[in-house]
Chains A and B, each alone.
Chain A
Amino acid sequence: MSVQFQVNGKKVEVEVEPRLTLADCLRHSLRLTGTHVGCEHGVCGACTVIVDGAAVRSCLMLAVQAEGSEIVTIEGLSNDDDLTPLQKSFRKHHALQCGFCTPGMITTAHVLLSEEPDCDAARVREVLSGNLCRCTGYISIVEAVLDARSAYGHKEQAGDAARERR
């Protein structure tokens, strides 16, 4: 079947079997390999992409279901010349080691911060609990996301640091 959608601002048209997942379509048909596949049953979150503004597990979506959608992947959230503020914060806090879960973490965090720039540590942990990481132990990831809030409009408040400690 032929399916048309937008990826990272560009219109694409691909010929796919109905059974091809959006994750595999992005990775193999469109060669956007930044989105990773870690489980194929909707648990690990490595495959997270943005579909019409919402973070979704692309391994649980069929490519044919993406007809007419606007999709953003990690490639669309990155620049050639420099890291984005969120990426810089991840690097500063050493919020990645092997890098496999990282695109999913960045994508999910980006949507969260875009919608809730004032989110606190508990909310960040709640949202990221759908993204598995085996290397970092998560603490540096949560710190990185909190530190990036100001780039999304959050105003630093006295007592922020004290409140984050739990």
Chain B
Amino acid sequence: MKLPPFDYACPTTLPEAVQLLASHDGDAKAIAGGQSLVPMLAFRLAQPTLLVDLRKLADLRGIRISDQGVTLGAMVRWRDIEDDERLATAHPLLKAAISHVAHYQIRNRGTVGGSVAHADPAAEMPGIAVTCDAEISVVGKSGAHVIQAADFFQGALTTALTPDEIIVSIRLPPWPAGRRWGFQEFSRRRGDFAMAAAAVFYDQDARGKARNAHVGVIGVGDRPLRLSAVEDVLNGQSIDEATIAKADAAASAAVDPQDDIHASAAYRRSLVGTMVERALRGAAAA
């Protein structure tokens, strides 16, 4: 499975990188950690004529925490998120989700931007982006703009990015202290893609009822899904056993997964309900 032939460039500025992508008529691809792209090249599922390496672009690095929330540079690696102790309080849901990504060696190279641009329907980072209303900042030949996570993921391995665009950073809104959250994932083996996973959070009003509930799931569609039907079950309620049971059922009813070699549609439908149920139980107990 040798890689197909391609040219390689390693620009030192963002405008240069954009120019290289734009000039190759859609046949150039950006490479970050390569943990998703290189296997695709190895299977010859992609045959770009030029790879544009982003590793020298300092603009894409760093984790910034401010009153704007958590801003992850596109080249931030899973390892960087793991190592950043601030995130335990600044965004515990992100930390919990990322702990499920792949394996040790991949976590040293795989990046946030790479995962979001690749858009695997069972990947954790796109799931967190959608669940948390993230904003994805991109730069292309027509300049810089922001894409909301809800509009970004358009299908399996399909995003709103045009061939000339590069993700610069991903901003997750600020995370208040006292927020309840939970994350549950089930995969065939540790580190495999999720058969289903649920990310949930909610805040509480003065009477302890849930509000601002966000429920996102991965692995059960061609992109991460926000389950508004489940959020409607939760908002205004105490998160007790009865509410959790309703949320479980609502989650299963809200999705329409496909059969594949790893799981049947019926099983995934049930599984997503269980993931939501267990994530909520974890959130309520904390």
Contact = CB atoms under 8 A, between A and B. Distances in A.
A73 interface: no
Contacts of A19: 2-6, 41
A61 B53 CA distance: 11
B39 A130 contact: no
Nearest to B79: A54
B109 A61 contact: yes
Nearest to A42: B39
A40 B35 CA distance: 11
Contacts of A106: none
A56 B105 contact: yes
Contacts of B103: 45, 127, 129-130
Interface residues of A, number: 29
B204 to A, nearest CB: 34
Nearest to A41: B39
A49 to B, nearest CB: 9
Identify which of A1, A24, A60 gathers the most chain B CB atoms within 10 Å of its CB.
Answer: A60
Counting contact residues on chain B (CB < 8 A from A), the size range is: 20 to 34
B132 to A, nearest CB: 26
A61 B108 CA distance: 12
A108 B1 contact: no
A140 B248 CA distance: 42
A18 B38 contact: no
A65 interface: yes
Given A61-B34, A129-B190, A130-B191, A112 B104 contact: yes
B108 A18 contact: no
B207 interface: no
Nearest to A107: B105
Identify which of B3, B5, B104 gathers the most chain A CB atoms within 10 Å of its CB.
Answer: B104
5 contacts: A19-B2, A19-B3, A40-B42, A41-B42, A60-B34
Interface of B: 1-8, 10, 31, 34-35, 38-39, 41-43, 51, 53, 55, 79, 102-106, 108-109, 189-191
